[in-house]
Each structure stands twice: as C-alpha cells, then as structure tokens.
Copies of this chain bind each other. A is one copy, B any other.
Amino acid sequence: MSSKHPCIKDGWFNEVSDKSFPGQAFSLKVNKILFHEKTQFQDILIFESSNYGNVLVLDGIIQVSEKDEFAYQELISHVPLYSHENPKKILVIGGGDGGVLREVVKHSCVEEATLVEIDAKVIELSKKYLPNMACSFKHPKVNVKLCDGFQFLRDVAESGTKYDVIITDSSDPEGPAEAFFQKEYFELLYKALTENGVVIAQASENVWLNLEYLKTLLNTSRSVFPVAEYCYTMLPTYTSGQLGLIACCKNPNTNLIDPCRAPTEDEQSQMRYYNNKMHSAAFVLPTWARKVLNPL
C-alpha cells in the first residue's frame, strides 16, 4: 500500500478532471491516507479528511464522504422504494460501500435485497473504513453477489427472475461502469423488473455540467420505459454540489414525483435527508434545465 497518491499535494486531495468537469476543481484537506491500491478494476484511495470524515475515492473521483453520504444514499434508495406500493425484492447494482443496502433494509416490506458488486475489495475496505455505511451486509435479508452487474442482468433475463426495485449505484461511465449508461443496460433493467417495478440509476452528471449528456441519457431511458424522470440530490462532495439520477417505471400509472407511500414515523426517524417533500422537490428543475430535459 502506497502512502502517496498523485491527487494529493501539500496535504490536500484535489479532484480534477479535464474531461468530466474542465476548469473547476474541488479539494478536501487530508489528515492521513488510510488506503491506496490499484485493483484489477480501479484505483482505490481512502483517506481521513479534516472535516468530512473518511473519504472513498475511485479513479480520482470522490465516491462518498462520511459527512454527506446520506444525502446520496437516502435519495437514490427511497425515491424508487416509496414510489412502489409494496417493494419486496430489491436489486442493487454496484454500491459496494453498503450505503444503499443500509437504506433499503429500513423498509419493513422488503423481503430480499441482493447486491451485485464487481470489486470485492470495495466491500472489504468499506467494512473497515466506512463502518456506518457497510453496516447491513450481515442483515438476514441481504445477499451479495461478486460479479459484473451487466452480466448478472443478462443471466437474470434468461432465468426470468424479477425485482420490484433496481438501484444502479455505479461509479462514473469511464472505467468499469461504462456499460451502465447504454440502451442495452436499460433494456436489461426493464426485463428484470416486475410489472409495477421502479428503477433508478445515478446519472454521473448534473444540469450545470453536461445538460446535453443528461438529455441523451434521459432519451435513451425514455425509449425503453414509458416514464423516465430526472431528479437530483444535493451534497457538497459531488461536483457542483449536486448529482443527477434517472428514475424509470414500467407501469405508466406509477407516480414517481408524488410517491404512493410515505415513511412511517419509525422509518422517518432513521432518515437524515429524505422526507416526502424532498422527494417531490428533487424533481423540480430550474427553467433552463427543464426546457431541455422536460420539453412538453
């Protein structure tokens, strides 16, 4: 394990990408590097920051910080789960840090949650360095499959297995997650869903950075699903302070924006970001973005 990282200089981790967000950069002060290694899939860095707790970085891009991870995990999980009347069987693709699993099992109606992660190292490291996220791997409803998510969905299509909610918690399109942003992937998701199934995928962009890409991704998902909507979560450690998500449903009568279920008092008491008003507000777009993503 190396004690240096090319993205860390003078005690600061610098997130710079000429390709994904040219001309802007975000930095976090580093107390110490906890882990750094290149696996066969990606470059994994974990450091302790001065103000954001432990931080997981894959291929130079911040994936989660302990301070603000809940804003992402809660929105990507609860938007599809509360949009479904009775979600029992859940599939999480990616998400080896365990944060989404933690949220999924808060729903008492959930009977089975399967996580498909390609990189076993991410799970192992999260258990060690992000224990508040990786707290549900031993939950009795949870299964973990160590394999490629795309291939898993192909096998699912053959076997005929169906899920009520599928959450794609992938890293960005460069690297191992590239296939998760293509039409074939949305077709596989469609096949893997029950009749009233809902799927959500992180879009790896936001309206300030790459609106045209989001439009293309939304059009791709709308070519497969009868309804697909853009929503977003707000958190400081993602570029521009927000990250887009694409939610899709198989039944055109499913209301993604005004969900059919709301958290029980017990569920709400376990949530720090999500509430029913935030759910709906997450779909409200500034005018210029709405014109591009949701023209009439």
Q: Which residue of B50, B71, B287 is within 8 Å of A22 (Cβ)?
A: B50
Q: Mark A18-58, 1 if CB is under 8 A from B, else 0.
A: 00001111111100000000000000000001111000000
* A281-292 interface bits toward B, Cβ cutoff 8 Å, 1 = contact, 0 = none: 100111110100
Which chain A residues numbered 239 to 296 have a C-beta less than 8 Å away from chain B?
239-242, 268, 271-275, 277-278, 280-281, 284-288, 290
User: Is A234 interfacial (CB 8 A cutoff)?
Assistant: yes
Minimum C-beta distance from A54 to chain B (A): 13
- Chain A contributes a number of interface residues (CB within 8 A of B) equal to 42
In the complex, what residues of B have CB within 8 A of residue A14's CB? 27
Min CB distance, A279 to chain B, in Å? 9
Given the complex of chains A and B, what is the CA–CA distance between A235 and B209 in angstroms?
11
| CA of A241 to CA of B208, assembled, Å | 11
Copies assembled: 2
- The reply on A12 being an interface residue by CB < 8 A is yes
* Complex partner residue of A24 from B29, B208, B268, B290, CB under 8 angstroms: B29
* Chain B min CB distance to A281 (Å): 4
- Please tell me if A236 contacts chain B, counting CB pairs below 8 Å: yes
Which residue of B51, B268, B272, B280 is within 8 Å of A286 (Cβ)? B272
Residue on B nearest A52 in the bound complex, by CB: B23
Residue of B nearest to A285 (CB): B278
With A23-B50, A242-B234: A273-B290 Cβ-Cβ less than 8 Å: no
Neighbouring B residues of A68 by C-beta, 8 Å: 208
Of B24, B71, B240, B278, the residue contacting A284 (CB under 8 A) is: B278
Q: Residues of B contacting A238 with CB < 8 Å?
A: 241
Known: A236-B208, A272-B288. A25 touches B27 (CB 8 A): yes
**A278 contacts across to B, CB distance below 8 A:** 284-287
Name which of A14, A23, A28, A268 has the most chain B CB atoms within 10 A of its CB.
Answer: A23
A66 and B288 CA atoms in complex are apart in Å by: 15
Closest to A23 in B: B51
- Known: A22-B29, A272-B286; 11 extra A-B contacts, CB below 8 A, are A23-B50, A23-B52, A24-B28, A25-B27, A27-B27, A71-B286, A236-B239, A272-B288, A273-B288, A277-B284, A281-B284
